[in-house]
A and B are shown apart, each in its own frame.
Chain A
Amino acid sequence: MKKQTLQRSLTGFWWLTLFFLYVPLLVVVLFSFNAANSAANFTGFSLRWYQQLLGNEEILSAFANSMVLAIASSAVALTLGCLIGYGMYRHRHRKLGWLIILIYLPIVLPDIVFGISEMAFFVQINRLTGLLGPGLLTMIISHVTFQIPFVALIVYSRFVGLDPTLFEAAKDLYATPWQRARFFMLPTIKPALISAFFLSFTLSIDDFVISFFTAGPESATLPIYIWGAIKKGVSPEINAMATVMIGAVAVAAVLSLMFNRQGRQQ
């Protein structure tokens, strides 16, 4: 009897927590359809904020910047991180403490310290050489830096999960290193590569602080634009923009669930 009450109160607590987790997002979505320019009263359904969104050049360019940044940085990080992941696996019996520290550094560093370090560094390089002025390039460089470790760790753990005799088998069949990479390694780590790319992409889109400190005047991303709009005074347009981004996350969540299902059924 007592156990049942415990279970019932836990269930109640679970739904309460879910409500807590989703209510701020739901409010944003709800008020993006508000006819009035108010954060307190919902006066009627309207799509006017979405129309304004499409007509706003700044927002469209911020969207383009976000996409270029996320795709370019994920592609570079995937290449570099994948190589590290393989190297770490292949040489896992050696002492690689320095490499582990180097890889964990971008993960444990508070993002504000990360951001201002990069900014101070880029400003000085720019003063001395004229290169690396603040803009998309500096943002891509910073994003790659924090994406590499995640790619490396995902690829590494995929290799660790493999049967080591597979490598021997590939060697025994006189596969050249190139053939081994092309026909054995790449296909087997493909799921890891896909999830690493998606994680990098999400990390890049999700990042605000590091982008904020490395961005130039022309390279504002969506979060940076939203930040500026909030600082200037809350406008319902932000709600509409945020709703689009929340929608993208919801799609990603459903996709990841489907992938997960498929992965387990195989």
Chain B
Amino acid sequence: MAYSGVLPSARSRAMVSESRHLLMTVAPGAVWIFIFLVLPSFYLMSVAFMTNGTYGLPEMPLSLESFKRLAGFGFLGWSAGNLFTLLRSLWQTVVSTGLVIIIAYPIAYYITTCREKWRPIMLLLVVVPSWTNQVIRTFGWMNLLAPGTPLAEFAQMLGLVPANMGLYPSNFAVTLGLVYNFLPFMVLPLYAAFEKLDHAQVQAAQDLYASPVRAFWHAVFPQTLPGLLAGIVLVAIPAFGMYVIPELLGGGKGMMLGNLVANQFSGGSNWPLGAAGAILMLIATFIGLYAMRRIGKRLGGGEEVVI
């Protein structure tokens, strides 16, 4: 529109210079991401369809061997190990995301009820632990759950763990670690949603004698849904591919997909199998993102989820 009065040639020259400007500013970073992330990802995906060579490196005849291995078909016939790992990843993701939601809702709400002056400090208090390194945070839980600590002794008293044992390695410890790790990622978007809450709707529900539960469900919940969905994306996707926490707190029986994949690239040395697992993770990631966008668009009253 701005060029409507200008001669066509001058206009196209301006367009060319604009395009050159776009290229000059955006290209260096875009090319960087393309070379160092898009190409490697495509290479990884292609590896999944290759055969496992002698040193664990991929070799040429294309095959679906690694996907069969992932589904449990090995040299010794079918075994359920890999499938269990997959199911465990899903289960851990669902449980920990659910727990995170249950904890984050009251916390996010509570922060909005406090004086405005305190809110940034309260949010900071929630976020600061996640600034420390993930390995250190998980190590903290190892310290807490080790044999002989008050928590472990308490669990022994209740008969939950055998004598002289710690609370890790176990699936419980992994869930705990996941909840701990991802809580801030749910509190922040939920807080943003609560802060924008239209209190008139809640008031209207109360005026119509809605019970607190119904008032929450019909007046509050739909308004916080975009924040909740953003939180689920931020929690569930990284939880599904988590590596550090199950590796340190889970042991062999708490292994998740991330460990299965990583092991093929470090100790186990079967790149195609690891790459097949990575493809599975990618599919889960994109399905998750897509589903959240769809649901968000439908339920969020046209408001797009922040992702």
Chain A: residues with CB nearer than 8 A to chain B?
A: 7, 10-11, 13-14, 17-18, 20-25, 27-28, 31, 38-41, 80-81, 83-84, 86-88, 90-91, 94, 99, 102-106, 108-114, 116-121, 123-124, 141-142, 144-145, 148-149, 152, 202, 205-206, 208-209, 213, 222-223, 226-227, 230, 234, 238-239, 242, 245-246, 249-250, 252-253, 256-257, 260
Q: Which residues of B contact A106 (CB under 8 A)?
A: 33, 37
Complex: A213 Cα to B258 Cα, angstroms:
13
- In this assembly, does B144 line the interface, its C-beta being within 8 Å of a C-beta of chain A? yes
Interface size bucket, B side? 35 or more
Q: Which residues of A contact B24 (CB under 8 A)?
A: 83, 87
- In this assembly, does B289 line the interface, its C-beta being within 8 Å of a C-beta of chain A? yes
Q: Which residues of B contact A84 (CB under 8 A)?
A: 25-26, 29-30
Are A27 and B140 touching (Cβ within 8 A)?
Answer: yes
Q: How far is the CB of B143 from chain A (nearest CB, A)?
A: 5
Q: Which residues of A contact B126 (CB under 8 A)?
A: 17-18, 21
- In this assembly, does B285 line the interface, its C-beta being within 8 Å of a C-beta of chain A? yes
Q: Given the known inter-chain contacts A116-B274, A230-B248, please indicate yes or no for A11 contacting B110, CB distance below 8 A.
A: yes
Q: Of A119, A152, A209, A242, which one neighbours B139 at CB under 8 angstroms? A: A242
Q: Of A91, A152, A222, which one neighbours B29 at CB under 8 angstroms? A: A152
Are B282 and A113 touching (Cβ within 8 A)?
Answer: yes
Q: Which residues of B contact A238 (CB under 8 A)?
A: 139
Complex: A94 Cα to B237 Cα, angstroms:
31
Complex: A253 Cα to B129 Cα, angstroms:
10
Are A7 and B113 touching (Cβ within 8 A)?
Answer: yes
Q: Which residues of A contact B43 (CB under 8 A)?
A: 117, 120-121, 124
Are A28 and B139 touching (Cβ within 8 A)?
Answer: yes
Q: Of B25, B103, B109, B147, which one neighbours A40 at CB under 8 angstroms? A: B147
Q: Given the known inter-chain contacts A105-B37, A257-B124, please indicate yes or no for A112 contacting B133, CB distance below 8 A.
A: no
Are A249 and B128 touching (Cβ within 8 A)?
Answer: yes
Nearest 5 CB-CB pairs, A to B? Answer: A24-B140, A87-B25, A110-B241, A40-B148, A121-B40
Are A102 and B132 touching (Cβ within 8 A)?
Answer: no
Task: Considering the complex, give the chain B residue whose CB is closest to the CB of A104.
Answer: B307
Are A88 and B26 touching (Cβ within 8 A)?
Answer: yes
Most B CB atoms within 10 A — which of A22, A25, A116, A144? A116
Q: Of B110, B180, B281, which one neighbours A13 at CB under 8 angstroms? A: B110
Are B129 and A119 touching (Cβ within 8 A)?
Answer: no
Are A120 and B47 touching (Cβ within 8 A)?
Answer: yes
Q: Provide 23 A-B residue pairs closer than 8 Å at the C-beta atoms, listed in order of the A residue.
A: A10-B113, A17-B103, A21-B129, A39-B142, A39-B146, A40-B149, A80-B29, A83-B26, A87-B22, A87-B25, A91-B21, A99-B26, A99-B30, A102-B38, A108-B307, A110-B282, A112-B258, A113-B282, A116-B278, A120-B40, A222-B133, A226-B139, A234-B143
